[in-house]
A and B are shown apart, each in its own frame.
Chain A
Amino acid sequence: MVERRPLLQAAAHLVLILGVLIVAFPVWLAIVASTHPQEAFQTGLIPVWPGSHAVENYGAMLGQGLSNLGAPPLGGMLWNSLVMALVIACGKIAISITSAFAIVYFRFPFRMAAFWCIFITLMLPVEVRILPTFKVVADLGMLNSYAGLTIPLIASATATFLFRQVFLTIPDELMEAARIDGAGPMRFFADILIPLSRTNIAALFVILFIYGWNQYLWPLLITTDEGYYTIVAGIKRMAEAVDAIPVWNYVMAAAVLAMLPPVAVVILMQRVFVKGLIEAEK
């Protein structure tokens, strides 16, 4: 369009740059803090430009952690977070896609009842049922285990709904043609539905990985054994102890490390993720 408003254009750029700075600001400070030695924080003002202790700080955190303050080596925690995030992401996708398949492509008694059962979980976030769920997990002996960390979080309505929507928009003719070609349901599922859902699966993977990695309350509650701490839940423990002796540089190093994997995943798969996020919520 022919438009003679360079001022407006400049203003828009300015707004965006400001936005980017505001958004990046806390993380920038964290990165900066993680590169300074401990003494830098005792003078009363956090530094705004990077220091020179990056390697020592990160090495220390990954290796020994702040074990005297109740935080195990970061390496272990990062590993736990990774396992948790991957299992939740893959598990949720697998469970939801098969459930959606069952609900959309079959007619059987109590089909709608099953649908509503799944739907209800949308209205039961973890925070609302923590105590009884904790009790169930404890009774099943799943505290302090990967199973306990992941399984209770695996049944998700949003993923099921997304796949249901995707399947509903796939033309009936595909399924009829497959049937004529002699394919049974599982074959149709594996050979046709799953390939067609590839982008959705990829996008969901990003969203669910982040969801699993960023879990806070649940891991906090059910892990008392240091060996099973996840990094996001573990951060709180570290920061709690920080009031006594400021080891901000270590804590910020931990925070940066905790942020790195999900952010990397989002940036690498940005296009797929953005598209899938919009569709997942529709």
Chain B
Amino acid sequence: MKRAVFRHRLLPWALLAPQLAVTFVFFLWPAAQAGRQSFLREDAFGLKTTFVGLENYARLLDDGEYLNAIGVTAVFSVSVAVLGMAVALVLALAVDRMATTARGYTTLLVWPYAVAPAIAGLLWWFIFNPTIGLMPHVLGRMGIDWDHSLNGNQAMILVVIAAAWKQISYNFLFFVAGLQSIPASLREAAAIDGAGPFRRCLTITLPLLAPTSFFLLVVNSVYALFDTFPVIDATTEGGPAQATNTLVYKVYVDGFLGLNLGSSAAQSVVLMAAVVALTVVQFRYVERRVEY
């Protein structure tokens, strides 16, 4: 907290007004509405709405599609996080050994951050297109039949690759920063202590990278939960047969396309709870810094 402050009473409110106004009108109010909506049900013609308590939530637990979406989301999130982070970590460790070429490699690896998830999805969809795509052609030569509009697993692989591809840059940057914050003297001491490069990596570098890794795990999870909506929408649209229907996509499909407002609202609230949990985790546990 600051010791030195200004004593004005009204000025701060004037300064905060724009943010608070937008927050209230476009965040808090709609969120409250979603909450309210989750307790209601509209009839088929949109004429009458009844208060149904927690019935919308209860329905979710019974809903095969919803449970499927939970499973899909779990598989999806874990795969994206693991793939995105593993590749980024290997690249970061490699760049860490470079001296003069590090900057060049970094530039070449950073720019995908700027690519929109929707476009990333489109690009990979193009590569995996069953008719003219490059990968199906290569896979076909190896005896694998690729058609992600028919095969649910293949659809999942497609969206996982597209979503992870985009995240590699972001993870890479943070891993590089994490590696640079490990004091050189620690690695020199380990070298003098007889540890070769691999042993140093395993016993010193990776353990000290743990805070960064944990942080990235949380961020990647949030990313996989929400920011991947465009990837799915631009490629598989939740299909085939619900194979890539993640929770966030289902909210959109049920609400906007299916017009089942109550259920969609309930799903939104559940997702909100998930985000709250993840944010709490992030602020509580990730804010610990390792001291050197």
- Give A contacts to B, CB under 8 Å: 1, 3, 5, 8-9, 12-13, 15-16, 19-20, 22-27, 29-30, 33, 41, 44-46, 48, 95-96, 98-99, 101-108, 111, 114, 117-118, 120-125, 127-133, 135-137, 151-152, 154-155, 160, 167-168, 172-173, 175-176, 179, 185-186, 210, 213-214, 216-217, 220-221, 232-233, 235-236, 239, 246, 248, 251-252, 255, 258-259, 262-263, 265-267, 270, 274, 277-278, 281
Chain A residues positioned under 8 Å from B7 (CB to CB): 106-107
Cβ contact of A217, chosen from B23, B230, B275, cutoff 8 A:
B230
Chain A residues positioned under 8 Å from B248 (CB to CB): 127-128
What is the count of residue pairs linking A and B with beta-carbon distances less than 8 angstroms? 295
B25 interface hit (Cβ, 8 Å): yes
- Give B contacts to A, CB under 8 Å: 2-9, 11-13, 15-16, 18-20, 22-31, 33-34, 37, 87, 90-91, 93-95, 97-98, 101, 105-120, 122-127, 129, 131-134, 137, 165, 168-170, 173-174, 177, 188, 191, 197, 215, 219, 226-227, 229-230, 233-234, 248, 251-252, 255-256, 261, 264-265, 268, 271-272, 275-276, 279
Assembled-state Cα–Cα distance A65/B11 (Å): 50
Residue pair A16, B31 in contact (C-beta under 8 Å): no
Chain A residues positioned under 8 Å from B20 (CB to CB): 99, 114, 117-118
Assembled-state Cα–Cα distance A24/B110 (Å): 11
27 A–B contacts, CB within 8 A, in A order:
A13-B101, A16-B98, A16-B109, A25-B127, A46-B129, A46-B132, A99-B20, A106-B5, A106-B11, A108-B12, A117-B23, A120-B23, A123-B276, A124-B272, A129-B27, A130-B251, A130-B268, A152-B26, A155-B23, A172-B2, A173-B4, A185-B11, A210-B113, A214-B118, A214-B119, A235-B119, A239-B125
Residue pair A235, B118 in contact (C-beta under 8 Å): yes
Nearest-Cβ distance from residue A104 to partner chain B, whole angstroms = 6
Nearest-Cβ distance from residue B53 to partner chain A, whole angstroms = 19
Tell whether A278 pairs with B108 under 8 Å between CB atoms, given A12-B98, A160-B19.
no
Nearest-Cβ distance from residue B279 to partner chain A, whole angstroms = 5
Residue pair B226, A277 in contact (C-beta under 8 Å): no
Tell whether A19 pairs with B127 under 8 Å between CB atoms, given A106-B8, A281-B174.
no
Give the most central of A44, A102, A262: most B CB within 10 Å: A102
Nearest-Cβ distance from residue A137 to partner chain B, whole angstroms = 8
Residue pair A20, B108 in contact (C-beta under 8 Å): yes
Residue pair A30, B123 in contact (C-beta under 8 Å): yes
Chain B residues positioned under 8 Å from A98 (CB to CB): 15-16, 18-19
Assembled-state Cα–Cα distance A104/B2 (Å): 7
Tell whether A132 pairs with B19 under 8 Å between CB atoms, given A46-B132, A172-B2.
no
Residue pair A128, B2 in contact (C-beta under 8 Å): no
Chain B residues positioned under 8 Å from A137 (CB to CB): 26
Q: Classify the interface of chain A: helix, strand, loop or mixed.
A: helix
Residue pair B230, A265 in contact (C-beta under 8 Å): no
Chain A residues positioned under 8 Å from B174 (CB to CB): 278, 281
Chain B residues positioned under 8 Å from A26 (CB to CB): 120, 123-124, 126-127, 165
Residue pair A45, B98 in contact (C-beta under 8 Å): no
Q: Classify the interface of chain B: helix, strand, loop or mixed.
A: helix
Residue pair B2, A263 in contact (C-beta under 8 Å): no
Residue pair A155, B4 in contact (C-beta under 8 Å): no
Tell whether A120 pairs with B27 under 8 Å between CB atoms, given A44-B131, A214-B118, A278-B177.
yes
Residue pair B133, A99 in contact (C-beta under 8 Å): no
Residue pair B116, A232 in contact (C-beta under 8 Å): yes
Nearest-Cβ distance from residue B217 to partner chain A, whole angstroms = 13
Tell whether A131 pairs with B98 under 8 Å between CB atoms, given A99-B16, A151-B26, A267-B107.
no
Residue pair A23, B251 in contact (C-beta under 8 Å): no
Chain A residues positioned under 8 Å from B98 (CB to CB): 12-13, 16
Nearest-Cβ distance from residue B102 to partner chain A, whole angstroms = 9
Chain B residues positioned under 8 Å from A15 (CB to CB): 90-91, 94
Residue pair B30, A107 in contact (C-beta under 8 Å): no
Residue pair B109, A124 in contact (C-beta under 8 Å): no
Residue pair B22, A151 in contact (C-beta under 8 Å): yes
Nearest-Cβ distance from residue A169 to partner chain B, whole angstroms = 11
Residue pair B25, A136 in contact (C-beta under 8 Å): yes
Residue pair A136, B116 in contact (C-beta under 8 Å): no
A-B pairs, top 10 by smallest CB distance, nearest first, are A214-B116, A132-B30, A262-B114, A132-B33, A216-B230, A26-B123, A155-B22, A102-B15, A102-B12, A106-B12
Tell whether A274 pairs with B94 under 8 Å between CB atoms, given A221-B256, A233-B118.
no
Tell whether A258 pairs with B5 under 8 Å between CB atoms, given A19-B94, A129-B31, A131-B34.
no
